[in-house]
């Protein structure tokens, strides 16, 4: 898998609809440096609709990303099941081409890698824990509390509490 595999050349098709399919695996995250994740198995469908002034991209992602539980450090699989729509506007204005959602009317090649990667990152939960994984198991961590720690009072705190009164 190479980065240019994600290039879509809109100039090749006239006002039509085209579908592009990708199967993402561990090489996907290795294409760019400093990726947040290492391994996945995600099927991606990109439906492209082109008309005279814009291009609509509908992304459908289904699969999972391998991660590590933040509590017990077990390996878990986080489900990815999302859809997203992105609209690219065609323009010849140089100032507008600096914007993210514009593409040149003369050179209509768009790389979908960043859009797919961004959608995966947005779909991932804030906390990656076993309960949110595909198998939805609970973390197996024993937190042993000792009775002696509950009864011990630090004298410094007792002195500070006197200041409140």
Domain that holds residue 154: 3-164
Give the separation between CA 129 and CA 138, rounded to whole angstroms: 9
When divided into structural domains, the chain yields a total of 1
What pTM did the predictor assign?
0.74
- The whole-number pLDDT of residue 85 equals 92
Burial level of 133, CB count in 10 A (0-12/13-18/19+)?
A: buried
Could you tell me the CA-to-CA distances from 31 to 16, 20, 27, 70 in Å, in that order?
A: 30, 19, 7, 25
Return per-residue pLDDT of the chain as tens, 165 residues.
788 888 888 777 777 788 889 999 888 888 888 888 888 899 999 998 888 778 888 999 999 998 888 888 888 888 999 999 988 887 777 776 667 677 766 677 888 888 899 999 898 888 888 887 887 777 776 656 655 555 667 777 777 877 877
């Amino acid at each position: 898998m190479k980065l240019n595999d994600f290039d879509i050349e809109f100039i090749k098709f006239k006002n039509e609809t085209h579908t592009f399919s990708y199967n993402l695996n561990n090489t996907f995250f290795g294409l760019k440096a400093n990726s947040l994740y290492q391994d996945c198995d995600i099927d991606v469908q990109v439906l492209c609709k082109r008309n005279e002034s814009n291009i609509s991209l509908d992304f459908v992602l289904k699969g999972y990303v391998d991660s590590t539980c933040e509590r017990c450090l077990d390996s878990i699989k986080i489900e990815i099941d999302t859809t997203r729509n992105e609209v690219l506007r065609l323009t010849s204005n140089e100032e507008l081409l600096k914007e993210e959602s514009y593409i040149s009317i003369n050179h209509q090649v768009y790389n979908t890698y960043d859009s797919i990667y961004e959608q995966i990152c947005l779909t991932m939960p804030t906390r990656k824990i076993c309960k949110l994984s595909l198998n939805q198991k609970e973390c197996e961590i024993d937190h042993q509390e000792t009775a002696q720690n509950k009864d011990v009072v630090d004298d410094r705190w007792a002195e500070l509490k006197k200041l409140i009164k």
